[in-house]
Structure 1
Amino acid sequence: MPGVTVEELAGHSHVRLLAGLGAGGHLVYETVLTRTIEPDLHLVLGTPAFVEGIAAGDRIRVHAGGSFEVVQRGGNICLLVVPAEPPGADDLAPLRDTFDDLGGIVELPPDRRFIVITVPAAAGFDTVEAAINEWTVPRGHHWEYSNVYDPDGNPLNWWD
């Protein structure tokens, strides 16, 4: 996992974070793998799929109701890919190889309905975008950044 050591994985826990509003205006939560540093301070160990604004390696302060603030960035960007149809293992191999070469990791649930990619920002946005577009465009898949823009679409600039 980019930016997270084996020692940090030891003693992991989970926090329930607010992901937004779902159908019918109901609050949606995602359980995220973390390591507790202090009672309300957590190191994110697993990049979430639906909670926007964070990636593995970030330190977050969790508030009542599942809201949170980023205390320190871990240096990883998150991409969320929504495939037009679930990809097969052979189809994923080139994507995994490409992001392995960039120091990243490609993860997806067993039903393969989405893909989460965590990659160090040091790989460079041009390189990351070229890599993801090379795989997604021919397949008709959609992708987006999950921790690069604020809710109004402005760059967060945490990588500068």
Structure 2
Amino acid sequence: MDDKLTLIKVFAGTSSQGTVLEELPAEYLSDQKFKLCASPGLALGLAKEDTIKLHPNGDFELIKHGGNFCIQIYKEQPIKEKIEAVESIVKKELSGSLDGFHNGSLAFTAPISNGFDATNHTFNKIRDILEAEYYYSNIYKDPYNFEDEELVSWARDLD
């Protein structure tokens, strides 16, 4: 294993027990800077291949967008065969990946070069298979303010 690969903990929200941190595989670059090796299933504003600066409390700053959408789906007790089917679809149609699945939270990566139309087309199929809605978790300027739908600059420039 490459000695630059590690697990980092990023801020994913708060619960009644306090701060929620999500563990993600990342490549250590330098000076608390990391390149993500997977899209998160809980944390918002990040995707696979993004470069971030990580603070000790789990807060992060996005240094460089990695060129991917992070799409999250929550489905209680999904059927294994359906998970395998949607993993195959996202890989075949978008050259994307299912980066993680834990406690009903699925994290997908899809290159932004596919654009919104093709990505929506594919994830509409996935939504129908899983019977669960999908969410672009890294396209909003303020991802934790669900009332604010202002897109980040790279997302405004697509399609």
Number of residue pairs matched? Answer: 149
Distance 1:37 1:139 in 2: 37
Is 2:46 the partner of 1:54?
yes
Is 2:47 the partner of 1:42?
no
The aligned counterpart of 1:158 is: 154
| Misfit runs of 4+, over 4 Å | none
The aligned counterpart of 1:118 is: 109
Distance 2:63 2:112 in 1: 18
Give the TM-score normalised by structure 2: 0.84
Give the TM-score normalised by structure 1: 0.83
The 8 Å contact of residues 38 and 99 in structure 2, kept in 1 or not, is answered as no
The aligned counterpart of 2:80 is: 88
Shift of residue 157, structure 1, vs aligned partner: 2.6
Distance 2:88 2:130 in 1: 17
Moved more, 93-102 or 119-128: 93-102
Shift of residue 156, structure 1, vs aligned partner: 1.1
Map 1:8-157 → 2, pairs under 5 A: 10=2, 11-22=4-15, 24=16, 26-83=18-75, 85-89=77-81, 91-101=82-92, 102-109=94-101, 113-137=104-128, 139-149=130-140, 150=142, 151=145, 152-157=148-153
Distance 1:63 1:110 in 2: 25
Distance 1:109 1:139 in 2: 13
Shift of residue 158, structure 1, vs aligned partner: 2.3
Which residues of structure 1 form unaligned runs of 5+?
Answer: 1-8
Deviations 1:86-111 (Å, cap 9, x if unpaired)?
Answer: 1222x234322221121100134365
Instruction: Check 1:14–1:110 CA distance in 2 against 1; reply closer, same or farther (3 A cut).
Output: closer
RMSD of aligned residue pairs (Cα, Å): 1.9
Shift of residue 14, structure 1, vs aligned partner: 1.5
Distance 1:107 1:56 in 2: 9
The 8 Å contact of residues 73 and 105 in structure 2, kept in 1 or not, is answered as yes
State the AA in 2 paired with 1:35: E
Shift of residue 49, structure 1, vs aligned partner: 0.8
Deviations 1:53-75 (Å, cap 9, x if unpaired)?
Answer: 01110000112311111100110
Instruction: Check 1:96–1:76 CA distance in 2 against 1; reply closer, same or farther (3 A cut).
Output: same
